Structure 1
Amino acid sequence: MATLLHIDSSLFPASASASRAAAETFRKAWQEQHPEGTVIHRDLAAHPVPHITADAHTAGFADPASHTPGQAAAFAERLRLIEEFEQADALLIGAPMYNFTIPSTLKAWLDNVILMGRTAGDSQSAKGTPVTVIASRGGSYAPGTPREGFEYVQTYLRAVLADGLGLDLEFIVPELTMAPHNPAMAELVPLFESSRERAHEDAAARAKELARRLAA
């Protein structure tokens, strides 16, 4: 049966997090299609992975036989994350926008799994694996909006996940999530509600579509 690797990076619980809530909708639909399958859930807010160190980085480009004890220990942790990533049949990533970009915990996870010559570069060991990113954001950074130029979540993750790792990438974008909390955005609440509803619909549909694809 298929394995889903689910990465959450929001600081908040699902009741207060648009990315976690939509990811839960995806995961529920996925599990309904794969009751015998496996879901590996990494909550990077609760259990952050180590930021990459000099030992972990240099070990990726050195013969394992030449590793120092520090390199061997650091790379063992990194390798565990890489193998988990490679063995997944599909990925689900919650990536809320914090200060115009992704959470540092998600960047740390990416720094660990991106390894030139294996997961990235000419080889791309997980190439073609479907990845769904729930890219929530407090405002709107869509094309044509005043803040379009400040959108560094989709731009960055497209470069890393699709171009760098060769994954089959799709974004789901619940936006205007600050509208219910910011009086200055009150008139945007209906647009927020519509965006939230569409995100949950898209999450369920994407999960079911991937389930059918992987079962074929």
Structure 2
Amino acid sequence: MTFFRLDASIRREGSVSREVADTVQRAWVERHPHDTVVRRDLTAPLLSPEVWLQAATAGFLPEEDRTPEQRAARTLASLLADELLSADAAVISAPLYNYGVPQHLKNYIDLLLTDQRFMATPLEGKPVTLVVARGGGYGPGTPREGWDHATPYLVRIFGEFFGADLTVVSAELTLADVNPAMAELRDAAAASRAEALELAQLTGRAQADQVAAKRAEKQLEGVA
């Protein structure tokens, strides 16, 4: 089986979204130590916004009229789509940047949508964990309530539009340790991080067991 992991944080060290995704991946591998893990880091290298433009405009032209850049962009879009479609389960990790989705993650989603396979719930029933890390607090009653414009969008895209069996794991106040103005929130930040890591571990294990059970069921149907 194959496990797919996507990271969008520009931070290599100290990234909470990557740490939580590590936990999901580790829990999966504990259950399936011989599985293939495919990773896509959207910051290494960054996807150029020009790639989506080329891939999108290529869709309006017959193959013979496309430029080399358009053909290359469509090839990349197909590769990205294949990575996600061929996986048995996936984790998508995304920090909240400027109250929204990281530019390179939005670019990735837009590229997927240039592939016709992604226009009709292509991830139907596939277990996907969405990891979201937010530097501040955005819960009910906080000054920034309603300012998280990333999580609802990502849930709508991966859960409703793509059809994945989605589990959201979120950690808040992740900047408390580095922002002196948030010093009084460090205990709350630590609690949020601990809860996210615990849920990530439980989710990774549960999804690994879920996929294994479905695979065993299909094998039995094949024998029957």
- Superposed pair shares fold, TM > 0.5: yes
Q: Distance in 1 between matches of 2:164 and 2:113?
A: 12
Cα deviation per residue 1:102-131 (whole Å; 9 max; x = unaligned)? 2111111111112474212xx222222221
Contact 2:52 2:111 in 1 (8 A): no
Pair 1:156 & 2:156 matched: no
How far off its partner does 1:42 sit?
Answer: 1.0
Contact 1:114 1:165 in 2 (8 A): no
Q: Distance in 2 between matches of 1:97 and 1:108?
A: 15
Against the structure 1 CA distance between its residues 155 and 28, is the aligned structure 2 distance closer, same or farther, given a 3 Å change threshold?
same
Match of 1:45 in 2: 43
Report the count of equivalent residues. 212
Q: Distance in 1 between matches of 2:47 and 2:186?
A: 35
Match of 1:137 in 2: 134
Q: TM-score, normalised by structure 2?
A: 0.87
Q: Equivalent residue of 1:16, what SS? A: coil
How far off its partner does 1:183 sit?
Answer: 2.2
How far off its partner does 1:86 sit?
Answer: 1.1
Pair 1:128 & 2:110 matched: no
Pair 1:201 & 2:198 matched: yes
Cα deviation per residue 1:59-81 (whole Å; 9 max; x = unaligned)? 34555466454432221111111
Q: Equivalent residue of 1:209, what SS? A: helix
Counterparts of residues 25-174 of structure 1 (less than 5 Å) = 25-51=23-49, 52-60=51-59, 64=63, 67-115=66-114, 117-120=116-119, 123-174=120-171
Moved more, 70-79 or 52-61: 52-61
Against the structure 1 CA distance between its residues 73 and 89, is the aligned structure 2 distance closer, same or farther, given a 3 Å change threshold?
same
How far off its partner does 1:191 sit?
Answer: 0.7
Q: Distance in 1 between matches of 2:26 and 2:156?
A: 28
Match of 1:192 in 2: 189
How far off its partner does 1:55 sit?
Answer: 2.8
Q: TM-score, normalised by structure 1?
A: 0.90
Pair 1:210 & 2:207 matched: yes
Q: Distance in 1 between matches of 2:205 and 2:161?
A: 26
Against the structure 1 CA distance between its residues 69 and 32, is the aligned structure 2 distance closer, same or farther, given a 3 Å change threshold?
same
Cα deviation per residue 1:163-192 (whole Å; 9 max; x = unaligned)? 221122211111111112222222211111
How far off its partner does 1:27 sit?
Answer: 1.0
Q: Equivalent residue of 1:149, what SS? A: coil
Runs of 4+ in 1 over 3 A off after TM superposition: 60-70
Match for residue 180 of structure 1 among 139, 152, 177: 177
Contact 1:55 1:74 in 2 (8 A): yes
Q: Structure 1: which 5+ residue stretches go unaligned?
A: none
Pair 1:11 & 2:10 matched: yes
Cα deviation per residue 1:28-52 (whole Å; 9 max; x = unaligned)? 1111111110111111122223333
Q: Distance in 1 between matches of 2:168 and 2:185?
A: 22
